[in-house]
Amino acid sequence: MLAALVNGRVLTEAGVVDGKAVLVENGVVAGVVETREVPASAARRELDGGLLVPGYIDTQVNGGGGVLFNDSPTVEAIAAIGAAHRRYGTTGFLPTLISDDLSVVDKAMRAVEAAIERGVPGVLGVHIEGPFLNPKRKGIHDADKFRVIDEAALTLLTSLKVGKTLITLAPERTTPDMIRRLADAGARVAAGHTNALYKTMRQALDHGLTGFTHLFNAMSPLTSREPGAVGAALESQEAWCGVIVDGRHVDPVALRIALRCRPLDRFMLVTDAMPTVGMADKQFDLQGRRIRVVDGVCVDDHGTLAGSDLDMAAAVRNAIAMLGLTLDQAVMMASAAPAAFLGLEGRRGRIAVGSAADFCLLDDDLNVTATWIDGVEG
């Protein structure tokens, strides 16, 4: 059935346009036309002057709605997490598993496969963040879970039958050949929780690494004599960098400098969200440690950052307010950029003919008032 979203402002690749209607059929955008050109047979959905933008894509979602993926690697948990984040404009996401036993990694991957096959809205794949990390940059991760990637781990990490697999690892804890094998098998490989030297990072980039997980956080810094992981990230003009824009994980000044170093479309907003998103109760347990939200960030009893209480709608607003980005730029970093990182460019992350009908409707304050995933409002 043909549907028409009418009487709103639409953020297209040419900018915000007025007087246009978005036609949706079979879950994809069938046209962006003048309102007068809407077929009489189309079912109309009034937008009442709201701003229609591409749905947000979050590649790092540990939890939401009171659910932590590690605690419950199930289809039901994925659905609950997705529903919690959808209220804030996330129409595509990767359930993210922080460092755990390989048996739990296996359960998480099988749950993601089942969720996609059952049509759980918004699930695009899985993000395995560890356990192939460096203890010197462990952050909140449990270093007792850390291990190297052997043949059994490689087989598991490349076993997802549907959807995208993103793997965050420390390049110095594996080999360039292993990174190449992961990439050649279709996985997206990102550096994170790493103490790598610049030379090691450069080798990883040359062998298929295409991302950096939460730039600046839990990685070797840029210094005068050793550029480290941060230096490699800022020098690269092709790899994508996830950034947590909450004003606490990274100082906005550092992020503004980073934005000047490389193409803007190679940055993507991420939340690194924990179960507190969408919940009034701002505390939870993480692998035996009590985590609380203090001044807007998740920390343990020692003050160690433990993910975030950030949602994508807030990340977009923060990118505008803290980083000086335009609406078009901030939304691009929340939609088209992560879509491209996942190899979904042209299929998601934009409002254009042939793309999935994933949208957010925003009010004048950029709060989300409605969402669509594959053309279905919810």
Distances (CA, A) of 286 to 121, 136, 145, 224: 26, 20, 14, 37
**106 Cβ contact partners less than 8 Å away, ≥ 6 residues apart:** 156
**Alpha carbon 258 to chain centroid distance?**
19
For residue 90, the SS3 value is strand
Distances (CA, A) of 204 to 108, 165, 215: 26, 18, 16
Q: Catalytic site residue 272?
A: yes
293 φ, ψ to 5°? Answer: -90, 120
249 φ, ψ to 5°? Answer: -65, -40
Q: Which of 100, 272, 311, 374 is catalytic?
A: 272
For residue 190, the SS3 value is strand
Find, among 249, 256, 266, the residue nearest to 309 by Cα.
Answer: 249
For residue 102, the SS3 value is helix
CA distance 316 to 143: 32
Residue given tokens 């490389």 in the structure block: 262
Residue given tokens 């609406």 in the structure block: 327
Alpha helices in the chain (DSSP H): 75-86, 102-117, 151-157, 176-184, 198-206, 228-235, 252-259, 312-323, 327-334, 336-341
- Is 190:165 a contact under the CB 8 Å cutoff? no
- Is 298:261 a contact under the CB 8 Å cutoff? no
Residues labelled catalytic: 272
